[in-house]
Amino acid sequence: HEGPGAFVIANAWDAGSAALLETLGFKAIATTSAGLAFSLARPDGSNAVTRDEALANARTIVKATSLPVSADLEGGYGDAPKDCATTIAAAIGVGLVGGSIEDSTGDTAAPIYEMGLAVDRVRAAVEAARTSDVPFLLTARSENFLHGRPDIKDTIRRLQAFQDAGADVLFAPGL
């Protein structure tokens, strides 16, 4: 985003809500993993929705609106950096122009990826985005505050490392 003022992006959970949000004047649409999970009568959280389900939903949203669409791609749908890269390539394939990867694991015993692996996952996602002919805005999320780790110094270190790995946008929900 380049322009005066704040950029507000609306969250759509399906094609109908995306079409409605476009009529309200929003300039872009984001998907919501929680909204999709809830629409499927599932709880929000890692592994509640599969990559295929999330991308199928994103495809219907992309087709329902003329606006650019960015997706909540949760943890990249796998632990390995290559999983994040695969997710980004598939996201571009369904017409998305942005997406987020978070550093939460879905494991309550160890809810946040170790720093090195978290950075490698973001770097792999960035590389997948940059090898595409489609401009893709990658958001890297540090989820410490959502998972019982209210450590602002670690959150800032993570966001800085994600920036160094090439992320376009940095986000720390729960602050």
Q: How many domains does the chain fold into?
A: 1
163 is a domain residue: yes
Residue 21 vs residue 45, higher pLDDT = 21
pTM for this one? 0.96
Contact, 33 vs 72, CB < 8 A? yes
Q: Show the tokens assigned to 124.
A: 């792999």
**CATH code for position 116:** 3.20.20.60
5 is a domain residue: no
Q: What is the mean pLDDT of residues 55-82?
A: 98
Could you give the maximum distance between any two Cα atoms of the chain, in Å?
44
Q: Show the tokens assigned to 15.
A: 């094609």
* Cα 36 from Cα 112, distance rounded (Å): 23
2 is a domain residue: no
106 is a domain residue: yes
Q: Which residue range forms the structural domain that includes residue 113?
A: 10-171
159 is a domain residue: yes
78 is a domain residue: yes
- The angle that helices 15-23 and 51-64 make with each other, rounded to 10 degrees, is 40
Q: What is the pLDDT of residues 72-83, one digit of tens each?
A: 999 999 999 999
Q: What is the pLDDT of residues 81-130, one digit of tens each?
A: 999 999 999 999 999 999 999 999 999 999 999 999 999 999 999 999 99
Exposure string for 38-57, b = 16+ CB within 10 A, e = fewer = eeeeeeeebebbebeebbeb
Q: Show the tokens assigned to 21.
A: 């949000």
pLDDT of residue 39: 95
Describe the strand order of the beta sheet including 10-12 as a list of residue ranges.
Answer: 10-12, 29-31, 69-72, 98-102, 137-141, 169-171
Res. 6 pLDDT band, cuts 50 70 90: confident
* Cα 2 from Cα 59, distance rounded (Å): 26
